[in-house]
Amino acid sequence: MSSPDRIKSLVRWRAGLAIAAVVLPMALFALFERQARRLDALGAEGSPVTARVIDVSGDGGSVSYVYRVNELEYTWNVARGEARYAVGESFGAIYLPSEPSFSRPYVDRRRAATEASSNRAFTWKIELGVGLALGLFALLAHRDLRRLRSGAPSEMASPAAYRRRVIRTAWALLPLFLLVTGFHLRDALNRKESVVPVVLALFLMLAIAGGMTFYIAHNGPVEARARSAKLLRWAAPAVVGVALLRLLAYVFGH
């Protein structure tokens, strides 16, 4: 890619990443806060109702139940750990009078307020992490743009410069890895869960990042797309594995 084309591409990437670093966390906040406010309302004015289990997923991961309000029937779906009932079994639940389709499989309204508080304590970390990651990549694009506009050759054309760039990027991402791990460690300790999955996830992330950095820096920018595709095939299952480890820690912790 020629320098003028590279500059145009970097301008677009910088703008897109900078906008996303602001807009996406705001959108996530609006989404999560809406749910938290519904839980707040449920804790303040939730009405009791009798619900009945109508389905348990094949893998036992979720439970569907039905209840009636003013002759209208509503269904809701929750994780198995929240409603350990058999199909056909009845239990007490609460629903939101202003939005009868929203409910929780318990009768103690204080649990709804506690759930809202717990959700807020976790979701802001997601919003912060997304904003920081996108902001970091916007800054890297801005740095590359300034470098090209100053007349310096593109790092893609210089293997040594490319290696330095990859290594700097890896070091820049390290604090983000540690920050996310710190959040999960604190959550695990607060919930009295095992911290082993969190530590394993950290080492797995570092191993992936270190391996990617070494591989790319060692081979340079030649056939970058093909290498990226190969790395993605390794990274995607690893990310799913990390998420599953955290999920197992949460499930067995309860």
Q: For the chain, give the percent of residues with pLDDT over 70.
A: 66
Q: Looking at the structure, tell me whether residues 30 and 60 fall in a common domain.
A: no
How far apart CA 90 and CA 82 sit, in angstroms, is 14
Q: Which residue has the higher pLDDT, 138 or 122?
A: 138
Q: Looking at the structure, tell me whether residues 91 and 164 fall in a common domain.
A: no
Q: Looking at the structure, tell me whether residues 123 and 102 fall in a common domain.
A: no
How far apart CA 24 and CA 16 sit, in angstroms, is 11
Q: How far is CA 230 from the centre of its chain?
A: 23
How far apart CA 220 and CA 156 sit, in angstroms, is 8
Q: Is the pLDDT of residue 130 over 70?
A: yes
252: pLDDT confidence band, cut at 50, 70 and 90?
very low
Task: CATH number of the domain at 80, please.
Answer: 2.40.50
Q: Looking at the structure, tell me whether residues 24 and 123 fall in a common domain.
A: yes
What is the tally of structural domains in the chain?
2
Q: Is the pLDDT of residue 241 over 70?
A: no
| Domain membership flag for residue 147 | yes
Q: Looking at the structure, tell me whether residues 74 and 182 fall in a common domain.
A: no
The per-residue pLDDT for 199 is 78
Q: Looking at the structure, tell me whether residues 87 and 129 fall in a common domain.
A: no
Q: Which residue has the higher pLDDT, 63 or 229?
A: 63
Q: Looking at the structure, tell me whether residues 73 and 127 fall in a common domain.
A: no
| Domain membership flag for residue 41 | no
- The torsion region of residue 88 among left (phi > 0), alpha (psi -120 to 50) and beta comes to left
Mean pLDDT is highest, among 38-42, 141-145, 147-151, 167-171, for: 38-42
Q: Looking at the structure, tell me whether residues 162 and 189 fall in a common domain.
A: yes
Q: Is the pLDDT of residue 185 over 50?
A: yes
Q: Is the pLDDT of residue 74 over 90?
A: yes
Q: Name, in order, each residue with C-beta under 8 angstroms of 158's C-beta and a sequence gap of 6 or more.
A: none
Q: Which residue has the higher pLDDT, 162 or 91?
A: 91
The per-residue pLDDT for 253 is 44
User: Measuring CA to CA, which residue among 34, 32, 45, 55 is closest to residue 94?
Assistant: 45
Supply the mean pLDDT for the chain: 78
Expressed as residue numbers, the domain containing 91 is: 47-108
| Domain membership flag for residue 90 | yes
Q: Looking at the structure, tell me whether residues 83 and 179 fall in a common domain.
A: no
Q: Is the pLDDT of residue 127 over 80?
A: yes
User: Measuring CA to CA, which residue among 236, 231, 225 is closest to residue 213?
Assistant: 231
